[in-house]
Amino acid sequence: MWPAQLVVAIVATMDLNHVAVFVRVVELESFTAAAEQLGLPKSSVSRTVTRLEEELGVRLLQRTTRTLHLTEAGHAYYERARVALSNLEEAATAASDTSGVPRGTVRVTAPVDVGMLNLSNIVARFVLAHPLVHIDISFTSRRVDLVAEGFDLAIRAGKLTDSTLVARKVGSTTLGLFASQAYVDRRGQPRSLAELSQHECVLMHAKNGQAEWRLSGPAGEESVTVHGPLNVDDMLFVQQGVEEGVGIGLLPVLKPKRCEEHRRAPEPVRILPEYELVGAGLHVVSPPTRFQAAAVAVFREFLTNELVSQWPH
């Protein structure tokens, strides 16, 4: 334990930029990744962490050619520094929000198949109404660490695994089997779930052109291995592939209302309506924080209300 006088002296002379760089290196587990995110040369990031260690008089990180690990002192320092920086960011945001007018950047992450939600229309109307707010959206299929990567909000489908997130459910999906009338005229309709294996299907997140579909039906859960010429990672693309007659696909039985406004082809035909896949919920989530910037709070409320109004109930 350092004497109080020494602690005061260290803090008084410490460059908080050094602390922030160290925290980012730990969060991203890489000097290279931290340098890219901060827009600095890797050598500058490494020297900054070294200077911080010299200021503190302790080794914070054990470095090897491929990995880095926190020392015991480094772990203790990181936990407190992370909280301190977060508090400073909240204080700065609170000070800038005293006017009551939402301003600043809101960073949002969303799945790549968010096209089904017509998110562009929602965001466009928001920024027109709030010209001092900038919305920065990153589309990705991976599960983003909101705190470590600096995101304010996320749209997430499926089971929420992080209980610390603040979440509001905006809808849920049940998927059914659909095909275009042109496909039905050409190939006919399967009379049983097993017959799906003899049809072309529009696949999602499949491997090597095949997937296993597990559906709930009259006899409980049943599975069938299906094949198809098209595999995508976007639900809107599945819908368009089905509408174009590529094959049978799993689509929401009830779709967001705005999605129907952009339909370019006739309504697909429901296939084997007694079978369906009960999907998980769709949520708007944000990291836990004692203070939320006005811009983030206003956009979160607007986004949530818009998605709830879109979804059939």
Residue with the bigger pLDDT between 239 and 3: it is 239
Distance CA 172, CA 247 (A): 25
Question: Do residue 11 and residue 142 come from a single domain?
Answer: no
Task: Please answer whether residues 201 and 247 qualify as being in contact, where contact means their C-beta atoms are separated by less than 8 angstroms.
Answer: yes
Question: Do residue 306 and residue 159 come from a single domain?
Answer: yes
Residue 312's pLDDT band, with cuts at 50, 70 and 90, is low
Using the 3D structure, point to which of 72, 96, 120 is the last residue of a domain: 96
User: pLDDT exceeding 90 applies to what percent of the chain?
Assistant: 34
DSSP state of 282: E
CATH of the domain at 55: 1.10.10.10
Total domains present in the chain: 3
Question: Do residue 161 and residue 288 come from a single domain?
Answer: yes
Tell me what pLDDT residue 6 has: 37
Q: Is the Cα dihedral 243, 248, 253, 256 positive or negative?
A: negative
Tell me what pLDDT residue 179 has: 96
Question: Do residue 194 and residue 145 come from a single domain?
Answer: no
Nearest residue to 178 (alpha-carbon basis) of 279, 259, 268, 245? 268
Distance CA 123, CA 133 (A): 11
Structural domain range at position 264: 173-281
Task: Please answer whether residues 120 and 260 qualify as being in contact, where contact means their C-beta atoms are separated by less than 8 angstroms.
Answer: no
Contacts of 236 (CB under 8 A, 6+ apart): 113, 115, 116
Using the 3D structure, point to which of 96, 124, 150 is the last residue of a domain: 96
Which neighbouring-strand residues pair with 223?
214
Question: Do residue 91 and residue 39 come from a single domain?
Answer: yes
Tell me the average pLDDT of the chain: 83
Distance CA 125, CA 113 (A): 20
Q: What is the pLDDT of residues 123-162, one digit of tens each?
A: 999 999 999 999 999 888 788 888 878 889 999 877 777 7
Residue with the bigger pLDDT between 208 and 117: it is 208
Distance CA 313, CA 96 (A): 39
Residue 112's pLDDT band, with cuts at 50, 70 and 90, is confident
CATH of the domain at 259: 3.40.190.290
Residue 192's pLDDT band, with cuts at 50, 70 and 90, is very high
Q: What is the pLDDT of residues 279-298, one digit of tens each?
A: 778 899 998 875 678 899 99
Q: What is the pLDDT of residues 221-245, one digit of tens each?
A: 999 999 999 998 778 889 899 999 9
Distance CA 282, CA 196 (A): 28
| Amino acid symbol at 301 | E
Task: Please answer whether residues 186 and 200 qualify as being in contact, where contact means their C-beta atoms are separated by less than 8 angstroms.
Answer: no
Question: Do residue 286 and residue 197 come from a single domain?
Answer: no
- Collapsing DSSP to helix, strand or coil, 8 comes out as helix
Question: Do residue 197 and residue 136 come from a single domain?
Answer: no
Distance CA 25, CA 19 (A): 10
Question: Do residue 20 and residue 111 come from a single domain?
Answer: no
Tell me what pLDDT residue 149 has: 82
Question: Do residue 274 and residue 286 come from a single domain?
Answer: no
Task: Please answer whether residues 308 and 281 qualify as being in contact, where contact means their C-beta atoms are separated by less than 8 angstroms.
Answer: no
Tell me what pLDDT residue 263 has: 52
Query: What is the pairing mode between strands 210-217 and 68-70?
Result: unpaired
DSSP state of 266: P
